[in-house]
Structure 1
Amino acid sequence: MALDGILLHKIVSEIKDEFPAKINKIYQVSNSEILFQLKTQSGRKNLIISCHTIYNRLNLTERSYPTPEEPSSFVMLLRKHLEGAIIQSIVQGGLDRYVKLECQTRNDIGDRVTLFLYVELMGKYANLIFVDSNGKIMDALKRIPPFENNRRTIQPGAMFKETEIQDGKLNPFESVTFNHEITLTKQFHGFSPFLSKEVEYRLQQDESFTSIMKEIEDSRLLYIAIIDNETVFHCIPLKHIEQKQKSYPLLEGLDTVYFHKEERDRIKDLSGDIYRFVNKELKHLRQKLPKLQSSLEESLDCEKWHTYGDLLYANLHIRTKGESKIELPSFDDDLLITIPLDPKLDIKGNAKKCFQKYNKAKKGQVYIQEQIDLCTKEIDYFEGIQEQLDISSFDDAKEINQELVDLGYMKKKVSKIRKQKKKETLPKIKKVTLDSGIQISYGKNNLQNEALTFKIANKNDMWFHTKDFHGAHVVVHATDLDEETIRTAAMIAAYYSKGRESSSVPVNYCQVRNLKKIPGAKPGMASLSTYKTIYIDPEEEFITKLEQ
């Protein structure tokens, strides 16, 4: 669900008091997101601008976002002109879905200049456009050449035209009457079809249009509900739907709606090569395995070549040169056996060739079986990596990338930016503390699992892992556990595993002292001697509350 003009009006009203604000740093968080680190009157703030086709928004956020090492050319231009600049104001274009940020800075010779950032949040046309004081476009996050849109070109050097406000529509905050026969979206600026449904439902319940708009104007909350796996929200209670709703402060609610939805795209934007590589490897291995299994079946049928060779040697008096096959009686029951021949060879040469095929197939059985085992393990490994990527944060994905580089699967990217060598540190391990004071740690990728189990955990700590699925290593930093703690740890292990969508997921647990690292195995692999098993139903809501 996208923002409408009225909700953008509420966001602007919420954040406009933070300006003037100084721009300290500018980062491109993903292909569609720009992050401005601001110094405002109330302290340091992060302004996130997303031009995603679905999740486009503008918001002050307290969430932490990843920052890529190598900025894009657009971000470099913004840094050159706007780092250290002052955002004087933020103004919305009526109730339309765009805002203008007025920035004051000094040019190369020290003269004060005014530059503008236009944030357009119009679905697939969402964009961030950088304009100079003369109205000329300096650059944009998404360039639109003339052959794509000859009415509105977004290219460096082109003159910028503000989005035209639709004529004939009224401001709903100023109007006291409306036409019952025309939809609200056609009568008023800023109305989305979803808000129109809500207001029309309320009007049918004898609420007045003026009181509804007054409630919207006074609201500082965001109400969120889920309908058919789709998140819907607005700044007033959603009375026209029956689903349970949650309310949050407006800006926090926007983070709740969008942060994790866009995180998957953000990870793919900044580390998409990992996804492509893992999917490519899995496709190759899954095609390779049936061929190996077919070769093994063929090699297991090698005894026939031994029999063919014996029969040919027993009949050396027969002339076979030029023949492609011969029928000879079996040694056992006199049944005729058809033996394929090489026409270029005599019977002795064909007998010798049969024994060569027999020896090759006999020796190949061991090698092919080794290759099948290796291929099966590789498929299992990359399926685990794929599962980890599906639940990973950006930092987790970077660690997965490092693991693949360390194991030689991927080449290390050489950054153009020179960096001082950092001391090797342990991966970031997720931790939660229960009401009882007991701390639980868990890893979400192989490097984290390896570090947690074999470097961080105490020998007396309790270790949890799903029995039949790839998943997180979970360590409870305590020895004597009550049932609630065991179930909580098992819930974490089950949720952060391939079995999160299943029920009655088996989770093994034991003391860390009962674990052994498997020699030559991939990171995060361990064998356990004695253990107990608990069955658990993963619950996303339980994990969300626990982590909060």
Structure 2
Amino acid sequence: MDYLIFKALAENLQSAWAGARIVRVTSSGPKSFSFQLLSGKNRRTLLFSLEGLMPRFHLLSEAPRGTEIAPPFLLLCRKFIEGARLKLCEVSPLQRVLVVTLETRDLIRGLVPYKLVFEVMGKQSSLVLANFDGKILGSVFIRADERLEAGRDYQVPVLSGERNVWTRDVERFSRVLRDRRGDLAKTLSSSFWGISRTHWDALLLSVSGFLSPEFLDESEIQALWREVSGLLDRPFPGAWLVPSETPGAWEITLLPMPGREGRVFPDIHTALEAWFSERDEAERVRRLRDSLLRALSRTSDRLNRKYEARKKEEERLFAAEALKGEAMELIASLSEIDPALLRETSARAQALFKQYKRARAVSGSVEARLASVLQEMKYVDSLRHFVGQGDDRTLLEDMEEELQERGYVPRPGGGARTRERKSSFRCYESKDGHRICVGRSNRENEALLHESTGPRDLWFHTRNMPGSHVILKLSGRERVPPELIELCARIAAHYSKGRGSLVEVDFTERKYVRKPRGSPPGFVLYHNARTVRVSSGDFSAHVTTV
């Protein structure tokens, strides 16, 4: 959040919400506070947050869920400014310091002003509540600062203007760019404070016509300076989210960027809400995925130990079989040995039989138990694959429920409960109109196999590795072209553990696929299959998402 965005947020807040009343103050975290505003029939929530890597303030369309424990700063706000009206929002000159003036009505003193100050200064960022005399009533901060102690007079921090672009003259500005080649936006953002790299990209594009020019001539440097000088007086009615260099990420800009068209928003508050909402959702997905992967890693370690124990039981069973063989040989030789040794040999054979029976009783059905462990290890391996590829919270929550049912993850509250599967398998449509459905988890694989297939549909799965079930929907005994077979196989390869490599994919008619009784979700046996070898490259150009 650079100075331009900070200033635009304050100006929009002042123009649209001056006079609004604070009807409720809540907290969604120890350092996140929400002020619910009411202006006529319009309601919005003003959020101030010092949590995460980026301190922020902006309006929200919905109030976040509050915490059960009220932080002390929340109690102060409720005591002094709940019910107050927002009178003025202003930004300290060339600093990311927002001062919100509030007025509340007192029976004795009449209208009483308070100030809510939000400072964005990296680890020194803070949120301060001060009274009408400028005395600090309380504050919340990232790093403790004696300047913000309760009872002190609040003073706006004084920052050095050495790197402030608006305190430079044209000659000092030009000196940074003159004869400079390479990543100019990076050079400018590291040389000057107040303008983000994304905004420098937009400014360079406007004066040079190129998204990433390698150098500027003197006339373009002068034009860039004029653009920068006019930014402080320029209105910013809208905002954009443009694609970042990082795949799947977005950047916020107040300036249009032809060539990097993204999503348009009516104001900067709406754009920031969308950006943080998507970022927070991505963070929740990442945390849930990492938590499930850790649980599966622990389960995998436990199964490996269990497998080693079963192997030792198998070795003991083999040793017991040797004892049995030795005892049988002794019994067979009784007719040939010296009668004087008959009793001793018979006792030896009986002792060996007893040892064999004890070992057999301990080992039990070793083969069946070893096979059960191997099957569970394959199942956990498939879970790790699907969780690792999961990028949707609903899908991951369904997989979390699956792990809870298997006992791999503790269920909250300890009670048993069932929940319907919320996620749905992904479906595509090929260019010739065929529907191709993909299960993205073991549960979805099972649902896809039993709920949405006909006996003549084709079933695809990578050979000998975890992956998705892929179903090609067919209307009957129609002839399937080889290129459609290859497309479905590529989709199966993409949604498998072999993504990014050359893999073998088996396919057969759905009627030749069955689920063994008592097997884990997603496990099947099949026959009459054919195999194709494909690479798991990008297939998006050949299908549309349904």
1:468 maps to 464
Taking a change above 3 Å as real, the CA distance of residues 112 and 269 of structure 1, as seen in their structure-2 partners, is farther
Q: Once the two structures are aligned, what percentage of the paired residues are identical?
A: 19
Taking a change above 3 Å as real, the CA distance of residues 38 and 267 of structure 1, as seen in their structure-2 partners, is farther
> For residues 26 and 507 of structure 1, what CA distance do their matches in structure 2 show?
58
The answer as to whether partners of 1:312 and 1:348 remain within 8 angstroms in 2 is yes
Q: Is 1:189 matched up with 2:189?
A: no
Taking a change above 3 Å as real, the CA distance of residues 292 and 34 of structure 1, as seen in their structure-2 partners, is farther
Counterpart residue type for residue 306 of structure 2: K
> For residues 270 and 291 of structure 1, what CA distance do their matches in structure 2 show?
32
| CA-to-aligned-CA distance 1:455-508 (integer Å, 9 cap, x gap) | 2445555444333332333444543566666555444433333222x2233344
> For residues 38 and 472 of structure 2, what CA distance do their matches in structure 1 show?
41
The range that moved more, 82-91 or 533-542, is: 82-91
> For residues 520 and 269 of structure 1, what CA distance do their matches in structure 2 show?
32
Secondary structure in structure 1 of the residue aligned to 2:522: coil
Taking a change above 3 Å as real, the CA distance of residues 423 and 269 of structure 1, as seen in their structure-2 partners, is closer
2:184 maps to none
> For residues 471 and 274 of structure 2, what CA distance do their matches in structure 1 show?
28
> For residues 210 and 35 of structure 1, what CA distance do their matches in structure 2 show?
39
> For residues 530 and 76 of structure 1, what CA distance do their matches in structure 2 show?
69
The answer as to whether partners of 1:56 and 1:121 remain within 8 angstroms in 2 is yes
How much does 1:512 deviate? 3.8
Counterpart residue type for residue 226 of structure 1: E
2:424 maps to 429
> For residues 163 and 428 of structure 1, what CA distance do their matches in structure 2 show?
51
Q: Superposition pairs for residues 69-108 of structure 1, below 5 Å?
A: 71=67, 73=69, 94=93, 96=95
How much does 1:371 deviate? 3.0
Equivalent residue for 1:213, pick from 214, 228, 253? 228
Taking a change above 3 Å as real, the CA distance of residues 103 and 173 of structure 1, as seen in their structure-2 partners, is same
Q: Is 1:493 matched up with 2:499?
A: no
Q: Is 1:445 matched up with 2:445?
A: no
Counterpart residue type for residue 521 of structure 2: P
Counterpart residue type for residue 445 of structure 1: S
| CA-to-aligned-CA distance 1:403-438 (integer Å, 9 cap, x gap) | 22333444432399xxxxx99644331545546665
The answer as to whether partners of 1:24 and 1:38 remain within 8 angstroms in 2 is yes
Q: Is 1:172 matched up with 2:196?
A: no
CA RMSD of aligned residues (A): 6.0
1:369 maps to 367
Counterpart residue type for residue 429 of structure 1: S
How much does 1:520 deviate? 0.8
Q: Superposition pairs for residues 50-69 of structure 1, below 5 Å?
A: 53-54=52-53
How much does 1:5 deviate? 3.9
The answer as to whether partners of 2:28 and 2:67 remain within 8 angstroms in 1 is no
Secondary structure in structure 2 of the residue aligned to 1:301: helix
| TM-score of the pair, normalised by structure 1 | 0.63
Structure number having the greater helix percentage: 2
Secondary structure in structure 1 of the residue aligned to 2:245: strand
Counterpart residue type for residue 293 of structure 1: K
Secondary structure in structure 1 of the residue aligned to 2:501: coil
Structure 1, unaligned runs of 5 or more: 240-244, 315-330, 332-345, 417-421
Taking a change above 3 Å as real, the CA distance of residues 347 and 432 of structure 1, as seen in their structure-2 partners, is closer
Q: Is 1:226 matched up with 2:245?
A: yes
> For residues 23 and 457 of structure 2, what CA distance do their matches in structure 1 show?
45
How much does 1:450 deviate? 2.4
The answer as to whether partners of 2:461 and 2:506 remain within 8 angstroms in 1 is yes
Structure 2, unaligned runs of 5 or more: 177-186, 205-211, 338-343
The range that moved more, 293-302 or 177-186, is: 177-186
The range that moved more, 302-311 or 389-398, is: 302-311
The answer as to whether partners of 1:51 and 1:127 remain within 8 angstroms in 2 is yes
Q: Is 1:381 matched up with 2:376?
A: no
How much does 1:37 deviate? 10
Q: Superposition pairs for residues 53-452 of structure 1, below 5 Å?
A: 53-54=52-53, 71=67, 73=69, 94=93, 96=95, 125=123, 129=127, 131=129, 149-151=144-146, 164-169=157-162, 172=165, 176-177=169-170, 179=172, 188-191=192-195, 204-206=216-218, 207-208=220-221, 209-211=224-226, 213=228, 221=240, 224-226=243-245, 235=253, 246-249=260-263, 263=281, 265-267=283-285, 269=287, 274-306=292-324, 354-362=352-360, 367-390=365-388, 391-414=390-413, 425-432=420-427, 434=429, 439-452=435-448
Equivalent residue for 2:522, pick from 515, 524, 545? 524
| CA-to-aligned-CA distance 1:24-43 (integer Å, 9 cap, x gap) | 99999999999999999999
Counterpart residue type for residue 393 of structure 1: D
> For residues 235 and 533 of structure 1, what CA distance do their matches in structure 2 show?
50
> For residues 467 and 477 of structure 1, what CA distance do their matches in structure 2 show?
21
The answer as to whether partners of 1:55 and 1:262 remain within 8 angstroms in 2 is no
> For residues 271 and 158 of structure 1, what CA distance do their matches in structure 2 show?
46
Taking a change above 3 Å as real, the CA distance of residues 48 and 521 of structure 1, as seen in their structure-2 partners, is farther
The answer as to whether partners of 1:508 and 1:531 remain within 8 angstroms in 2 is yes
Taking a change above 3 Å as real, the CA distance of residues 136 and 192 of structure 1, as seen in their structure-2 partners, is same
Counterpart residue type for residue 471 of structure 1: G
Counterpart residue type for residue 518 of structure 1: P
> For residues 535 and 94 of structure 1, what CA distance do their matches in structure 2 show?
65
| TM-score of the pair, normalised by structure 2 | 0.63
Secondary structure in structure 2 of the residue aligned to 1:73: coil
Secondary structure in structure 2 of the residue aligned to 1:388: helix
Equivalent residue for 2:451, pick from 443, 448, 455? 455
The answer as to whether partners of 1:499 and 1:505 remain within 8 angstroms in 2 is yes
Taking a change above 3 Å as real, the CA distance of residues 170 and 505 of structure 1, as seen in their structure-2 partners, is same
> For residues 44 and 491 of structure 1, what CA distance do their matches in structure 2 show?
50
| CA-to-aligned-CA distance 1:124-148 (integer Å, 9 cap, x gap) | x4978585867767786xx75xxx6
Taking a change above 3 Å as real, the CA distance of residues 201 and 447 of structure 1, as seen in their structure-2 partners, is same
The range that moved more, 390-399 or 48-57, is: 48-57
The answer as to whether partners of 2:131 and 2:137 remain within 8 angstroms in 1 is no
Number of equivalent positions: 493
The answer as to whether partners of 2:3 and 2:96 remain within 8 angstroms in 1 is yes
The answer as to whether partners of 2:97 and 2:120 remain within 8 angstroms in 1 is yes
1:343 maps to none
Counterpart residue type for residue 399 of structure 2: I
Taking a change above 3 Å as real, the CA distance of residues 392 and 305 of structure 1, as seen in their structure-2 partners, is same
> For residues 118 and 543 of structure 1, what CA distance do their matches in structure 2 show?
51
The answer as to whether partners of 1:231 and 1:257 remain within 8 angstroms in 2 is no
Taking a change above 3 Å as real, the CA distance of residues 360 and 449 of structure 1, as seen in their structure-2 partners, is same
